[in-house]
Structure 1
Amino acid sequence: MLTGVWGQPPADIKNSSIFKKLQEETNTVLDIQVVPVSNYDQNLNLVMAANGLPDLVHAFNSKAPTLVKAINQGAFHDLSEFDLSAYPNMTEIPELIWNNSKINGKIYGIPSPVGLNADGFMVRKDWLDKLNLKAPTTLEELREVLIAFREKDPDGNGKKDTYGLVGRGLSLLGAFGVHEPQFEDDMMLLNWMTDNYKEYLAYMNDLYANEVMPKEYFLMKNSDMKNMLVQGLGGMYSTPLHAAGEYTVDIQKKLPEASFTNLSPIQGPGGYTGQQKLGYYGMWLIPSSVDKKKVPQILAYLDKTASEEINNLINYGIQGVHYDSIEGQKVNDTEAQVKLRDEEAGQGTIVFLNKYRPYNDVTKNGFTIDGLEEELIKSIDEHIELTSASLFDTLISETYSDRYADVFKDLDATIVKVTTGEASMEDWDKYVAQLKANPTVQQMMKEFKAQYDLMNG
């Protein structure tokens, strides 16, 4: 197999007790080629170009242009042709994740599930309580709450130093219907070309005019936004739903009475706030050079690795050697045991299929705050039921992937200018019209439309 490692690679795979145990438990002889994640895609491209693919290949970016091109040229088995229902651990992966990982409507890789999750708005619950505000249920109520967080001194220090919204409020997109497909002739409009997106921009422009966001919000890095939130200066943030738990733990180190909670999806003119995540990260592919008779054996290996036992083996090592005890996803070990495990297994070597845990992003944290885990799981369920994923996370356009950086080099700056009022809505209309008339962009939209038609029969 060809696979990647996030940190330190294993010192000696062939003599590692962990990898020996992996082969013993799966009844498999493994020849593992490990490449650092930092240059993995480049290495995979070279191997594909040289027709030197091994029996099993891990792809971190399952929609990478070169990989999709290789799939279209027949380099990998269509696994839809095999009976995947014969593998019990794989059957636990829900249809949602299988569908999101398909390429050209078919299964070319086994997705490595990371659990169900969605983006949504987390909010300072204690600020709502202090200002006698209810959790907003409409976009107008959301606007009022954000303005109150800026104007009404929710931290009680007598200064106007708090902000309603940190970041770009991307969870608003769903409420304006931006994730819903729109077409013109044989083209699928890019989501920011639609009138729905223009409505989102107008809403953001109004928030900015009311000083709801920091003046230079667009220059803030993720670390800056996190620092602002855990220091108690921001009231709302668009983020994966499990983060409300992590940020609550962090902020309570400084402000014990503070807490974040997730808002329920808010209905807008085109849908609900929030966006489903794809539910997987990376996938395993089997080259078509592998004899079809061997494919079921390789699938059986992957299925076996998706068990809790094998996941624990690769993540934590062997009990009594690399750790003392394990409870759920919490392990008790010493520094010496961790050092030995890192030497033998490497730091994040991908040789297995993740076990499907529906709410893994939540449950892996082991939150000790009473009721927090249950609250986060309920929030995820709400969002999975009401929101959708972005189609542009699942559809493929080779032209879009190849030319995005140069064709849309001014897009982000133009969005910021319209939001801050430096550019008008008329300026935005001209910008969109100019790009819609661009032949390269039109080719992208035709490719997306063809993919959409293929996925929807």
Structure 2
Amino acid sequence: MINKIIPSTAIALALAATSGTSVAAGDDDKYKVTDKPLELSIHMHFRNKYAWDENWPVAKEYEKYTGVRLKGVASKIGTNSQELFNLMLVSGNLPDIVGGNSLKDSFIQYGMEGAFLPLNDLIDNYAPNIKAYFEENPEIKKAITAPDGNIYHLAYFPDGQAARAYYVRQDWLDKLGLEQPETVDELYEVLKAFRDRDPNGNGKQDEVPAFFRHWEEMIRMVTLWDARTTGTDSYHQFYIEDHSKVKHGYVDETYRTGIRNLAKWYKEGLIDKEVFTRGSKAREYLLGNNLGGMTHDWFASTAGYNDSLKETIPGFDWIPMAPPASPSGVRMEENGRTTVKPDGWALTYSNKDPIASIKYMDFIFTEKGRNIANFGVEGVHWNMVDGKPTYTQEVLTDSQPVNSQMWSVGAQIPIGFR
């Protein structure tokens, strides 16, 4: 429970007190939100190991364009983001801004209790880019609106549909004279060939035909037999059938059929025997040692192995493939990007300049700010090529996955951005 509730009149007074904040003139300064430099505090701790760092290259870019510096106050050595959030709340000593992952419910609950400022009027009056985005995407606006009708936080809004895909060793297929599998039966034959025909050429039967960092991705393969496991990008969720029926894949007969077939494949050595124990290093170990043949995983980090392994494994060719068709002819990619993540940031009742704060947040919804939030610093991490932001070769060939590199410089973190 928050130990201080701010009345609506106090919010109004806070807004009135800062109404003199203005935008600097001139094209070079069109993103400035204050006449003079302003420092605001932010508690942002996420994924149990990252904390906002004002020295991030991306944070410095935001400051350069807006004139606002966000000073991180969350512990940089803490290892439990939710615990740090709770301690910050009960202290009653709130910073100007709070952000992090999986905080949507807290933002709404404590926002209605007065800990966070309602953003509706701030967005309407001072955030034209956010306002336009909500006008174009009313369902997204609805998704972050609290039961009392107020918006208390801005979320991370992913684009696109598919987030993960099947990846296969195309070089192994070529060596064995095989085509990418178009059906589940063809996939079965491909995996047997990977197991039996020594595609890595070391004279040993040590290949792991199909492997997964997350065992749920193995279970997801029941879709190859017309089953379902989830309705979101999270595991073990219900799904909506025909836009009206709430169902769960685990209770369907097709799910049992899929599990029986996966058990058969596992017994035959087509699926990694250590799928339940190998964990997050599965790709790194099995691909790095030229042992893994196929997986289902995130696009960005999975594709990166083409660059990181090209010198150590000659001819390494690791590419996505369309989902093989089920016996009924259905090709299903069950995983998809959610349109609204439960991540983002909010303004607290202690915020010293709500107008400057919402303008800062609005900058990240401009094309300039959006590119920084997604790709990092232009000329360092990316360049504009044929009108599209494109990562540099240094980023693409680094030993770390692109997303990990972005997190380390302050990009693609769970703030409010597109």
- TM-score norm. by structure 2 comes to 0.61
> What is the aligned partner in structure 1 of residue 201 from structure 2?
156
> What is the aligned partner in structure 2 of residue 35 from structure 1?
75
1:272 correspondence with 2:350: no
1:243/1:18 Cα in 2 relative to 1: closer, same or farther (>3 Å)? closer
1:301/1:165 Cα in 2 relative to 1: closer, same or farther (>3 Å)? same
Deviations, residues 198-232 of structure 1 (Å, cap 9, x unaligned)? 34322311211221023333221222442112211
1:158/1:100 Cα in 2 relative to 1: closer, same or farther (>3 Å)? farther
SS in 1 for 2:272: coil
For residues 142 and 209 of structure 2, what CA distance do their matches in structure 1 show? 34
Residue 139 of structure 1, CA deviation: 2.1
1:70 to 110, 126, 132: 110
> Is the Cα contact below 8 Å between 2:208 and 2:271 reproduced in 1?
yes
1:304/1:8 Cα in 2 relative to 1: closer, same or farther (>3 Å)? closer
For residues 38 and 212 of structure 1, what CA distance do their matches in structure 2 show? 37
1:109 correspondence with 2:153: yes
The structure with higher relative contact order (CA 8 Å, sep 6+) is 1
Output the amino acid matched with 1:304.
F
For residues 56 and 220 of structure 2, what CA distance do their matches in structure 1 show? 45
> What is the aligned partner in structure 1 of residue 275 from structure 2?
217
After superposition, residues 73-112 of structure 1 pair within 5 angstroms as: 73=113, 75-77=115-117, 79=119, 82-83=123-124, 86-88=127-129, 95=137, 98=140, 102=144, 107-112=151-156
Deviations, residues 46-79 of structure 1 (Å, cap 9, x unaligned)? 222344433321122234x655543564643454
2:256 to 174, 198, 213: 198
SS in 2 for 1:61: coil
Residue 264 of structure 1, CA deviation: 1.6
> What is the aligned partner in structure 2 of residue 49 from structure 1?
90
Q: Percent identity?
A: 21
Long gaps (5+) in structure 1: 318-324, 331-356, 374-457
1:92/1:2 Cα in 2 relative to 1: closer, same or farther (>3 Å)? same
> Is the Cα contact below 8 Å between 2:165 and 2:333 reproduced in 1?
yes
Residue 122 of structure 1, CA deviation: 0.6
Output the amino acid matched with 2:379.
I
Residue 140 of structure 1, CA deviation: 2.3
Residue 115 of structure 1, CA deviation: 5.6
Number of residue equivalences:
328
SS in 2 for 1:128: helix
> What is the aligned partner in structure 2 of residue 329 from structure 1?
382
Residue 178 of structure 1, CA deviation: 2.5
1:282 to 335, 343, 352: 343
SS in 2 for 1:164: strand
Higher alpha-carbon deviation: 221-230 or 83-92: 83-92
> Is the Cα contact below 8 Å between 1:110 and 1:284 reproduced in 2?
yes
For residues 23 and 202 of structure 1, what CA distance do their matches in structure 2 show? 56
After superposition, residues 8-407 of structure 1 pair within 5 angstroms as: 25-28=65-68, 32-36=72-76, 38-63=79-104, 66-67=106-107, 69-71=109-111, 73=113, 75-77=115-117, 79=119, 82-83=123-124, 86-88=127-129, 95=137, 98=140, 102=144, 107-112=151-156, 116=160, 118-167=163-212, 168=215, 169-172=218-221, 175=224, 176-180=227-231, 181=239, 192-268=250-326, 272-278=332-338, 282-287=343-348, 295-305=354-364, 308=368, 326-327=379-380, 329=382, 367=396
SS in 2 for 1:218: coil
Long gaps (5+) in structure 2: 1-40, 232-238, 403-418
For residues 310 and 301 of structure 1, what CA distance do their matches in structure 2 show? 12
For residues 47 and 367 of structure 1, what CA distance do their matches in structure 2 show? 38
Output the amino acid matched with 1:240.
W
1:102/1:178 Cα in 2 relative to 1: closer, same or farther (>3 Å)? farther
Residue 249 of structure 1, CA deviation: 1.9
1:363/1:113 Cα in 2 relative to 1: closer, same or farther (>3 Å)? farther
1:327/1:91 Cα in 2 relative to 1: closer, same or farther (>3 Å)? farther
- TM-score norm. by structure 1 comes to 0.57
Residue 235 of structure 1, CA deviation: 0.6
What is the Cα-based RMSD across aligned positions, in Å?
A: 4.8
Residue 315 of structure 1, CA deviation: 9.6
For residues 17 and 261 of structure 1, what CA distance do their matches in structure 2 show? 32
Output the amino acid matched with 1:179.
T
1:315/1:236 Cα in 2 relative to 1: closer, same or farther (>3 Å)? closer
For residues 272 and 152 of structure 1, what CA distance do their matches in structure 2 show? 29
1:182/1:30 Cα in 2 relative to 1: closer, same or farther (>3 Å)? closer
Deviations, residues 13-65 of structure 1 (Å, cap 9, x unaligned)? 7x9999898556424475652432624322221222344433321122234x6
